[in-house]
Amino acid sequence: MPVEVIYSWVPVWACLASLLAVVPIVWFGKRGMVNAREGATLVAGVVKFALVLSMLPLVRGGKVVECTLVEIAPGLALAFRVDGLGMLFALVASSLWIVTSVYAAGYMRGLKEHAQTRFAAFFAVSLSATLGVAFSANLLTMYVFYEMLSLATFPLVTHHQDKEARTGGRTYLSYLLGTSIGFALPAMIFTYVKSGGNLDFSVMGVLAGHVGHGEALVLLLLFVFGFAKAGLMPFHSWLPGAMVAPTPVSALLHAVAVVKVGVFCVIRVVTGIFGIDFLKEMDLGIVVSWIAAFTVVVSSLIALSQDSLKRRLAFSTVGQLGYIVLGVSFLTPYGVTGSMLHIAMHAFGKITLFYCAGAIFVACGKKYVSELSGLGRSMPFTMGAFTIGALSVIGFPPTGGFLSKLYLLLGAAQTGHFSLVVVYVISTVLNAAYFFPIFYIAFFGKDSGAPRKLQEAPPACVVPLCLTAVGSVLLFFFPDVLLGLAESMLPPGEQP
């Protein structure tokens, strides 16, 4: 069944919307018109989301939207292509940006941070890069935006410009640039050479029949580790390091945009460059499975021992990213669908958790799990949302996380490797183990002597986190759109 292709500039505009917003942001920022600056961000966010949304019916109708910008290397173009997976990711990222921009305004003002204009500007650039990755039609375009995202987020991660930020920033860039230049770039060029100059994503892959077993294995490993944003061990330590960033950055970038770009790239490479059938034929999925399984279990164990709330969340993210990679490495319909779904479900759950961590910090300056005792009584909304987010990440109904985990579990069962099913079960138990104590002591723990009155963060912080928490629940009841998008990516005739 040939896919109907529609040529349109909408994906380009969707991508550019936030990049263009940099101009008014800086213009207003320089003149001290803070509200106008925040307004510009918000307008850009809404426009962006609307543009993405406008393409949704087309993509749901089984069509793809394409646009070629310029020929950037012989036979290669900077090209956009919107399909189910890209749409899914773009929807998540652009909708959460709107929420985050509200939250960020509240957070940054609440803490009287410096250089807010720079922050807002680079935030917008990062979002452009994220959508660029989501809509890339080929590996080169994806790589271009991947690098752009690494660089654009550097000033955000190191926002505080103190010693800690410098250390974190160093780790951040050295891992991300080091792996992308050292692994992904040569892998990409090798693919280009081997495939006869073709880097376009397609269901059948471009490598089938061009490389042998050994070469395919090396390429796969180079790609999987090369996109270190996916946080597979041993290239995960940038993520905890990047927690020096202000919380909105951690929330959007390190629960949604950056890390999901990493797993998105891995999914793209596995499904679009290698092709699921080719990998099955080579029996290579299992290699990635074990790397991912190792990451899932070990990071969950590390998360248990973290006292800093944000670091605990960071290691939890590493583990959840491992889930996604693990799912796609099953090469089964349920596994791949589950991975794609989990991108969205985890995004909503984890962003809620980060918002809560930030709100707690704004409201009472607490950063450590051990300090949270009794906080549920003074910050009921925040801690309530935290509970929902945590349940979603653990995979507890009625939250979105339950659905994606169900798919992943079924996918594991489809492979016939019983041990992989066990990995999911163990890790779910571990997830529960590192989250339950938090809201247990928050609600039932002893009072730390703090006054019992309501002491929430500013509404600009609390409203967004409630919204995303509600979103997590809603996704459980109305997953059709996302599910449809994810399933549209499977080879014909393989719907679960």
Partner 1 sequence: MVEQLPAIVVLAPMFASLVVILVGLRWRSWCYPLTLAGLAATLAAAVGLVGRVYREGVIDYFMGGWETPLGIGIQLRVDALNALVLVTIATVALIVGVYSFRREVDVKAPAKTAPFYTLFLLLVTGLCGITVTADAFNLFVLLEVTSLTSYGLIAMGSSKRGKLAAFNYVIMGTIGASFILLGTGYLYIRTGTLNMVGIREVIVAQDLYGSTTIVVAFILMMVGVFIKMAFFPLYGWLPNAYSYCPSTSSCILAPLMTKVSIYIMIRMMLGIFGAEYVFQEHATTIVVWLAVMAIVAGSLLALAQVELKKMLCYLIVAEVGYMVGGAWLANHWGMVGALYHIVSDAIMTLCLFLGASILWSRLKARRIDDLSGAFRKMPWTMAGFVVGGLAMIGVPPTCGFFSKWFLIRGGMESGRWEYVVALLVSSLVNAVLFFRIFEIAYFGKKPAEGHDDSHGEESVERVGAPWTSTVALWVAAVLVVLVGVFNGEIAAFFARGLEGMAIVGSAGGGN
Asked if residue 13 binds partner 1 (CB under 8 A), the reply is: no
Contact region with partner 1 (CB under 8 A), list: 69-77, 354-362, 423-431, 467-475:
69-77
Omega within 30 of 0 (cis) for the link into 398: yes
If the CB atoms of residues 96 and 152 are measured against partner 1, the closer one turns out to be: 152
Q: Does 80 bind partner 1 (CB under 8 A)?
A: no
Q: Which residues contact 335 (CB under 8 A, 6 or more apart)?
A: 327, 328, 329, 407, 408, 410, 411, 412, 414, 415
- Report the nearest approach of partner 1 to the CB of residue 283 (Å): 26
CB of 108 to partner 1, least distance (A): 12
Cis peptide before 57 (omega within 30 of 0): no
Cα angle 82-223-216, degrees, rounded to a multiple of 5: 105
Least distance between partner 1 and beta carbon 479 (Å): 36
- Residue whose CB is less far from partner 1, 183 or 354: 183
By CB under 8 A, tell whether 365 contacts partner 1: no
The residue (of 112 and 446) whose beta carbon lies closer to partner 1 is: 112
Collect all residues with Cβ–Cβ distance below 8 Å to 438 and sequence separation of at least 6: 309, 312, 369, 372, 386, 390
Closest CA to 12 of 83, 79, 102, 87: 79
Q: Could you say which of 24, 168, 169, 241 contacts partner 1 (CB under 8 A)?
A: 169
Query: Please, what is the minimum distance in Å from the beta carbon of residue 160 to partner 1?
Result: 4
Site string for partner 1, 88-127 (x = CB under 8 A): -----------------------xx-xx------------
Q: 336: which residues sit within 8 A by CB, 6+ positions away?
A: 267, 271, 276, 327, 328, 330, 411, 486, 489, 490
Q: How far is the CB of 232 from partner 1 (least distance, A)?
A: 19
- Of the pair 140, 483, the CB lying nearest partner 1 is at 140
- Binding residues among 173-212 for partner 1 as defined by CB under 8 A: 173-174, 177-178, 181-182, 185-186, 189-190, 192-193, 196-197
Separation CA 279–CA 301 (nearest Å): 30
Encoded one letter per residue, x for contact with partner 1 by CB under 8 A and - for no contact, window 387-416 reads: ------------------------------
Cβ neighbours of residue 416 closer than 8 Å, sequence gap 6 or more: none
Report how far residue 425's alpha carbon sits from residue 367's, in angstroms, rounded to the nearest whole number.
Answer: 30
366 touches partner 1 by CB under 8 A: no
Note whether 30 binds partner 1 by CB under 8 A.
no
Of 182 and 397, nearer to partner 1 (C-beta) is 182
Q: Which of 413, 411, 385 is nearest to 399 (CA)?
A: 385
What are the residues facing 368 on neighbouring strands? Answer: 308
**At what angle are helices 185-194 and 213-226 packed, to 10 degrees?**
140
C-beta closer to partner 1: residue 155 or 445: 155
Rounded to an integer, what distance in angstroms lies between the CA atom of residue 245 and that of residue 228?
A: 18
Q: Is 78 in the site for partner 1 (CB under 8 A)?
A: yes
Q: Does 155 bind partner 1 (CB under 8 A)?
A: yes
Query: Whole-number minimum distance, CB 317 to partner 1, in Å?
Result: 22
Q: Which CB sits closer to partner 1, 162 or 447?
A: 162
| Residue 431 C-alpha from the chain's centroid | 18
| Of 17, 65, 149, 165, the one binding partner 1 by CB under 8 A | 165
Sheet holding 76-82, edge to edge: 4-7, 63-73, 76-82
DSSP helix/strand/coil, 489: coil
Residue 23, interface with partner 1 (CB under 8 A)?
A: no
Residue 145, CA atoms < 13 Å, CB-side half-sphere? 30
- For residue 414, how far is the Cα from the chain centroid? 26
By CB under 8 A, tell whether 487 contacts partner 1: no
- CA 78 → CA 105, 145, 444, distances in Å? 34, 10, 55
Give helix 380-394 / helix 333-364 axis angle, nearest 10°. Answer: 160
State yes or no: residue 27 binds partner 1 (CB under 8 A). Answer: no
Within positions 132 to 151, which residues make up the interface with partner 1, using CB under 8 A? 140, 143-144, 147, 151
CB nearer to partner 1: give 173 or 296: 173
The rounded distance, in Å, linking the Cα atoms of 133 and 149 is 9
Rounded to an integer, what distance in angstroms lies between the CA atom of residue 316 and that of residue 433?
Answer: 11
**Nearer CB in complex with partner 1: 182/437:** 182
Size of the site for partner 1 (CB under 8 A): 41
Told to check if 170 binds partner 1 by CB under 8 A, we report yes
The one among 5, 9, 164, 416 contacting partner 1 by CB under 8 A: 164
**Minimum Å distance from CB 276 to partner 1?**
25
Q: Which one of residues 73, 422, 429, 454 is an interface residue with partner 1 (CB under 8 A)?
A: 73
Interface residues with partner 1 (CB under 8 A) are 70-75, 78, 111-112, 114-115, 140, 143-144, 147, 151, 155, 158, 160-166, 169-170, 173-174, 177-178, 181-182, 185-186, 189-190, 192-193, 196-197
